[in-house]
Amino acid sequence: MYKSIEEHITKHVSPTAKELYQFTSFLKEITIDKGQFLVEPGQIVKHKYFVIKGGLKAYYIDPKGNKHIIQFAVENWWVGDFDAYYNNVPSKLHIEVLEDSELLSIDYDSLQKIYDDMPIFERYYRILVTNSTIAQRKRILSSLEKNTQERYLEFCEAYANIENRVPNYDIANYLGVSPENLSRVRKQLKKLNIS
């Protein structure tokens, strides 16, 4: 059960076997079905989640009623509303389960205790969140620099395993374009590939 999270951790830092055991002993196993919500707006968020199996999407619905996908999460990703989790403010996000999923959760208080007792895990999260910042910077640059076609190709490359698991309108949404526009871009790409 804990194999994938242990691998993920040891890919980034080197805790002792005992530390690793202590860490995983705080985790709770969760199974949740497609269509369910892990987080909904207004909720106080006490957990974040590691995906063992399945897929989810995190999105925000703005005051105009438009939906904006912030993140997809599949195997070996952490997902949650980090703003709500760390700053103890009500969530503004929906986190929806796209496929029946198995997750591990860790609650805020346990994580604080882990940070206090075993700084190696503070390092683990520092590294993860640093990587996440770098990835988000790339997303910002990408939206400034590239047109829809380029961004779509980049997405397919970066999330090869996700591309066929989520509907196109969700991909369009993630890219910040209309489904119609993405459809046209895909059509153009098909032409190019065939000829």
Partner DNA sequence: CAATTCCATTGACCTATATCAATTAAGATA
Partner DNA sequence: TATCTTAATTGATATAGGTCAATGGAATTG
**Start-to-end C-alpha separation, the chain:** 47
Does the footprint of a copy of itself cover residue 44 (CB under 8 A)? no
Check residue 97 for interaction with DNA (CB under 7 A): no
Longest alpha-carbon distance in the chain? 61
DSSP element (H, E) containing 55: strand 47-61
Amino acid identity of 158? A
Q: How far is the CB of 102 from a copy of itself (least distance, A)?
A: 25
Query: Counting contacts by CB under 7 A, is residue 147 touching DNA?
Result: yes
**What is the spatial distance between Cα 66 and Cα 124, in angstroms, rounded to a whole number?**
35
The C-alpha atoms of residue 67 and residue 101 are separated, in whole angstroms, by: 23
Does position 165 interact with DNA (CB under 7 A)? The reply is no
Q: Which of residues 149-188 bind a copy of itself (CB under 8 A)?
A: 176
Is 96:72 a contact under the CB 8 Å cutoff?
Answer: no
Binding segment for DNA among 37-45, 72-80, 84-92, 180-188 (CB under 7 A)? Answer: 180-188
Residue listed under structure tokens 């194999």 = 3
- Judged by the rule CB under 7 A, the positions of this chain that interact with DNA are 147-149, 167-169, 176-184, 186-187
- Judged by the rule CB under 8 A, the positions of this chain that interact with a copy of itself are 60, 62, 64, 66, 68, 70, 82-83, 86-87, 115, 119, 122-123, 125-127, 129-130, 132-134, 136-137, 139-141, 143-145, 176
